[in-house]
Structure 1
Amino acid sequence: MTTAAGGLDPERLAGLVGALCSGGDQERLREVVLVSSGAIAAGLAPLGLARRPRDLATQQAAASVGQGRLMHAYTEEFGRHGRTVGQVLLTVDDVTRRAHYRNAHRTLRKLLDMRAVPIINENDTVATEEIRFGDNDRLAALVAALVQADLLVLLSDVDALYTGHPSQPGSRKVDEVTDFAQLAEVSVGGVGSAGVGTGGMVTKVEAARIATDAGIPVVLTAAPLAAAALSGEPVGTLFHAAGVRATARLHWLAHATTARGRLHLDAGAVTAVVDRRASLLPAGITRVDGAFTAGDPVDLIDIAGRAVARGLVNYDALELPSLLGRSTGELAATLGPAYEREVIHRDDLVLL
């Protein structure tokens, strides 16, 4: 929704909002969540910046100025269609811990129940890591899983996925993707937005993979075709949903988190976790790596050094070494009933 030089593009923004509100009375029954970039770009001109900054502090400053301008523009444009919008700024930490995840889901659900349009962006102004290439594509897929969406539409500056750059002779449009293995011959590097944005075709394909893994079909197309995509017309590239819809929280755990540590398991524990989907107990852990606290995501490592699962740990890293190899019954008898709990409960485990 920004120009190549930075700043908001009122015409493009109006076109997108019009597409989202194109269904008349029926549109009011449609629940729409919009994941929008543009906060940093919208803050460039007011701060006298000629181009997107590279350092994190200046990116955060630009986002701080631009976020208000972006939301004001959306509020005005959706208001012309009689729709109310709500701003939701998310970070990864907001949705990886159980209580925070439930709060994010509850907020979005309430906004939708009240017929508002949640407008979501990553909370760039307080990000503790570099604002990564393509975060909003990934964020859109994760939000789609969070709200259990029926469809995810990813918008680009090209009308579909192609086997090569659309300008190259012999490049063919990919109409449907039923298995990501069929994309082995597709070259997506360098295709898509650049300049003030952070997206690109690589990140959109990865976002489609995340969403379809959650049981959500994805349409990838150009912004002018958004209304057609939402109406079910055969535009862009359709990525078919794969498998059974996972629970949103575990999907976030698998795709939205970064492990804060590693727990090395013996063969018996690997079998219990992977094959029997059992909880992880102290007896099956052979080594602990990393500095984490209770509630953090950690990877479970098999004897070959591969990460086989990720889970939310119930102990601090400093507590675990003295517990390794011991049964929960023994720990409860010697240290008290509080130590009879699992290291990771099976409801907080996802296989990788």
Structure 2
Amino acid sequence: MSRVVVKVGSSSLTTPDGHIDPQRLAGLVEAVGGARQRGDDVVLVSSGAIAAGLGPLGLPERPRDLATQQAAASVGQGALMAQYSDRFARLGLAVGQVLLTVDDVTRRGHYRNAHQTFAKLLELGIVPIVNENDTVATSEIRFGDNDRLAALVAHLVHADLLVLLSDVDGLYTAHPSEPGSRLIASVASDADLAGVDIARVGSAVGTGGMVTKVEAARIATAAGIPVVLTSAQNAATALEGQAVGTRFEPTGKRRSSRLLWLAHASQTKGAVLLDDGAVRALTQRGASLLAAGITGVDGTFSAGDPVDLVAPGGGVIARGLVNFDSTELPSLLGRSTADIVAELGPDYDREVVHRDDLMVLQRP
């Protein structure tokens, strides 16, 4: 038995005018149901709430303004789940809705609770259906975020495979319509993507395109999870384990959820500027960040917030959870820990960022 996370975008579930296509949804359910009948655990990350709300609201096409998008998502979430529930019930399977945002999945305080929820649903034989909580989004709703959300969910549930379903059958060297464009069957590292044009591959309904799918693949494979990217029509073939679409091979090993969160999903609150010595200590020796190696502070943050750690040239070389407020740090810059403790007391005997709370993103 294996555990698979399947992500499907709006463009793979909708008609050309943006409404949910019952036949496409039924095909997806049949593929997922087949995997469940073989004994696999499956978590479905599904876009489509806004599209499902268009019909009940009498909207001819996907709205452009945020308020109407949120209204459509509010109506559509229930309608979409009703369709999924009906289709899965025909296969003898029950579903459970899990509404998440990237923030919900990646905040450390919520991670354990979310993991336990998924574990219990899967133990009970339920098919969890995950969607970004578009109804309460505070910025422009972007379906592409569900690609990254799916990668984080795959890590959260300890998946053996992430399947990203698109409206194209894999990753091509250029837009599939261009002469000479060819399917890339396997990606073992970023070197295999050199020269690949992914910017123009997208659809009228889902706004993520290939860019967010490749980024999602990077997140999952860096955590040791292989990824298959293919079309929704190939869902059953992919879930049967057959070679289809583009397979991204793992590039790293499973890491703690906190470090994955820092590397790929944290919204940093500010930046800490480093000197060359601090950059070497962090990237070459795996050391903690001390005040002695800091040259400046940018932004407003509190102790415990994620911050970017910036090299002298301006590049972000790491992210970490800072142990001081932005108002405290300026008076400590360039000073040794011993000097700081001698003046301010034992409460200041701590690293600015401990190495266990730090993720190196690039090495000079």
Indicate whether the TM-score tops 0.5.
yes
CA deviation after TM superposition for structure 1 residue 172, in Å: 1.9
Report SS of the residue matched to 1:189: coil
CA deviation after TM superposition for structure 1 residue 23, in Å: 4.2
Amino acid of the residue matched to residue 103 of structure 1?
N
Matches within 5 A, 1:141-160: 141-160=151-170
- Rounded to whole Å, the distance in 2 between the matches of 1:114 and 1:332 is 54
RMSD over aligned Cα, in angstroms? 2.1
| Preserved contact between residue 146 and residue 249 of structure 1 (Cα < 8 Å) | no
Matched, 1:8 2:20: yes
Identity of aligned residues (%): 67
Q: Select which of 179, 182, 198 maps to 1:169.
A: 179
- Rounded to whole Å, the distance in 1 between the matches of 2:139 and 2:348 is 35
Amino acid of the residue matched to residue 257 of structure 1?
S
- Rounded to whole Å, the distance in 2 between the matches of 1:95 and 1:156 is 23
CA deviation after TM superposition for structure 1 residue 334, in Å: 4.1
Counterpart residue number, 1:37:
47
| Preserved contact between residue 191 and residue 200 of structure 1 (Cα < 8 Å) | yes
Report SS of the residue matched to 1:43: helix
Counterpart residue number, 2:191:
181
Change (3 A) 1:33 1:24: closer
CA deviation after TM superposition for structure 1 residue 130, in Å: 2.0
Matched, 1:257 2:266: yes
Matches within 5 A, 1:204-215: 204-215=213-224
Matched, 1:246 2:255: yes
Report SS of the residue matched to 1:21: helix
Q: Select which of 88, 93, 96 maps to 1:83.
A: 93
CA deviation after TM superposition for structure 1 residue 56, in Å: 2.2
Report SS of the residue matched to 1:295: coil
CA deviation after TM superposition for structure 1 residue 32, in Å: 1.1
Show structure 1 runs of 5+ residues with no match: none
- Rounded to whole Å, the distance in 2 between the matches of 1:259 and 1:70 is 33
CA deviation after TM superposition for structure 1 residue 84, in Å: 2.5
TM (normalized to structure 2)? 0.88
Alignment deviations for residues 119-163 of structure 1 (CA, whole Å, 9 cap, x no partner): 111121222222236111222122222223111111112222222
TM (normalized to structure 1)? 0.91
Alignment deviations for residues 305-339 of structure 1 (CA, whole Å, 9 cap, x no partner): 22110012222222322333334444445444433
Counterpart residue number, 2:294:
285
Matches within 5 A, 1:125-140: 125-132=135-142, 134-140=144-150
Change (3 A) 1:322 1:101: farther
Counterpart residue number, 1:18:
30
Show structure 2 runs of 5+ residues with no match: 1-12
- Rounded to whole Å, the distance in 2 between the matches of 1:70 and 1:147 is 23
- Rounded to whole Å, the distance in 2 between the matches of 1:313 and 1:322 is 15
Alignment deviations for residues 241-279 of structure 1 (CA, whole Å, 9 cap, x no partner): 113333333112211122210001122322222222222
Amino acid of the residue matched to residue 288 of structure 1?
V
Report SS of the residue matched to 2:359: strand
Report SS of the residue matched to 1:11: helix
Q: State which drifts further: 290-299 or 128-137.
A: 128-137
- Rounded to whole Å, the distance in 2 between the matches of 1:283 and 1:95 is 34
Q: State which drifts further: 138-147 or 33-42.
A: 138-147
Amino acid of the residue matched to residue 134 of structure 2?
D
Amino acid of the residue matched to residue 45 of structure 1?
G
Report SS of the residue matched to 1:46: helix
Report SS of the residue matched to 2:194: helix
Alignment deviations for residues 204-225 of structure 1 (CA, whole Å, 9 cap, x no partner): 2222222222221111111121
Q: State which drifts further: 244-253 or 34-43.
A: 244-253
Matches within 5 A, 1:271-350: 271-350=280-359
CA deviation after TM superposition for structure 1 residue 304, in Å: 1.9
- Rounded to whole Å, the distance in 2 between the matches of 1:315 and 1:70 is 45
